[in-house]
Amino acid sequence: MAIEGSKEEAASGRIRLGMVGGGQGAFIGAVHRIAARIDDQYELVAGALSSEPARAKASAKDLGIADDRAYGSFEEMAKAEAARPDGIEAVAIVTPNHMHAPAAKAFLEAGIHVICDKPLTTTVAEAEELVALVKKTGKVFAVTHNYTGYPMIRQARAMVAAGELGTIRLIQAEYPQDWLTERAEASGSKQAEWRTDPKRSGAGGCIGDIGTHAYNLACFVSGLELDELLAQLTTFVEGRLLDDDVEILLRWKGGAKGMLWASQVAVGHENGLKLRVYGTKGGLEWTQADPNYLWFTKFGEPKQLLTRGGAGAWPEAARVTRVPGGHPEGYLEGFANIYTEAARAIRAARDGGTVGADVIYPSVEDGLVGMKFIEAAVKSSNAGNVWTKV
C-alpha cells in the first residue's frame, strides 16, 4: 500500500499522474494526456509507456518524464511510486484491453486512484473483481466513456430525469465508422491489429470498441437498466477474427424498447455516433459530429434546437462548459470533463471528504455494466440470435 500521510503537496497543487501504455505510436495516450491538462488539474510525472523497454524509455523522454520514473512494467511502477513521498496519486491506463485488469489491480492494491480506458476489462469476471477491489480500497475509479462528458449529453440526461420527455418508450443508438472496411490489421495498422485480436481485445470486436460507447450513452441519458437483448454480430471482412458490425434489439426494464447499431465497415461514416430518445411527452436527438446542439420536440409542438451556450441551456450543461456559445467544444473537451470530474473526486479523497451529486463520471460499476452487455450480446449472437438476459 502507499505510504500514509507522507505524500508531498497532499492538499494542493496538481494531481500527480502516471500513465500505463500510450507511448510512441499510440493514438489514445496522447488524447488522455491532452484531456488531463486542459483544466490544469494533473501533471504527468511517471509512466510505463510501452511493453517494449526501449520504447518505454524513449517515450518517457519525449514527454519530459525523469529517467528514474520511466518504468519497464506497470508492476515495477506501482511498487516504486507507492513507496515515493512524491509518488503518483492517480494512474491513467491506456493499454489494449487485455492489460486493463492486471494494471488496474496493481495500482488499486498500491493505494493509487485509477482512470481507465474502456472497455473496463475483457471478461465479466475480471470486471467484478475490480468492482470488489474498488469497494475494498475506497479508491476513485473512472472509466473514460468520454461522450458522457459532452455538455448537451449532460443536459439530455437532466431533461429525461426531470420528466421533460414523460415515460421513456424508445431508445435508438447508432455508432457507424468505416475505418475497418478493408483488412487493415494485415497491412501494418497497430490500432487495427490489437482491436481485431481476441487475445488482446476480448470476445467482442466492434461491439467492445464502439458498441459499448453507444450502449453506455443510452444508459447514461435514459437512466434505464437493460433487461434483455437479441444480437446479431457479423464479421464481414474475410479473415477477421472478431465482429465488425453489430445489430441489437433492446428491451429495457420498465417496458421501453430500442435498437443499437454499431459498425466499422459502414463506408462514408467517420464517427457517426447518434442517440435518439422518445417518451410519452417528447423526444431528444443528439449527434456527436455536431455536439453543441440538442434537438428537443414536445409532442404537438415545433421542433426546438437547443444550443450549448444558448437560452435553452440547462445548468448541467453550463457547469461542464468552458467557452461562450458559438465556440465549438467537442471530443477533447468531453474527455477533459471526465478527467476533471475524477480530479474533483480525487481532491475530495485527499481531504477525506465526498463530492456533490453533480460530479459525474463513469465508474467501475458502469464498466461492469458494459462488460455484461458485451457478454450477453456475444452469447445471443453465438446462440443463433436469441433473446438473452443481461
Q: Is the pLDDT of residue 57 over 80?
A: yes
E strands, 21-122, in order: 42-48, 90-93, 113-116
The per-residue pLDDT for range 238-279, each reduced to its tens digit, is 999 999 999 999 999 999 999 999 999 999 999 999 999 999
Contact 229/212 with Cβ under 8 angstroms?
Answer: no
What is the separation, in whole angstroms, between the first and last Cα of the chain? 35
Does the reported pTM lie above 0.85?
Answer: yes
In angstroms, rounded to a whole number, what is the distance separating the alpha carbons of residues 36 and 40?
Answer: 7
Q: How does residue 6 score in pLDDT terms, banded at 50, 70 and 90?
A: very low
Q: How does residue 12 score in pLDDT terms, banded at 50, 70 and 90?
A: low
In angstroms, rounded to a whole number, what is the distance separating the alpha carbons of residues 279 and 112?
Answer: 42
| Domains, the chain, ordered by start | 15-146 (3.40.50.720), 151-321+367-389 (3.30.360.10)
Kindly report the average pLDDT of the chain as a whole number.
95
Residues of the chain with pLDDT > 90: what percent?
92
Q: What is the mean pLDDT of residues 309-325?
A: 94
| Exposed / middle / buried, residue 141 (Cβ in 10 Å: 0-12, 13-18, 19+) | buried
pLDDT at 47: 98
Q: Which three cell numbers, joined as nine digits, stand for 47?
A: 509512466
Q: Is the pLDDT of residue 49 over 60?
A: yes
Q: What is the mean pLDDT of residues 166-188?
A: 97
Kindly provide the b/e burial profile for residues 49-61, where b requires at least 16 CB atoms within 10 angstroms of the residue's own CB. Answer: bbbeeeebbbbbe
The per-residue pLDDT for range 319-372, each reduced to its tens digit, is 999 999 999 999 999 999 999 999 999 999 998 888 889 999 999 999 999 999
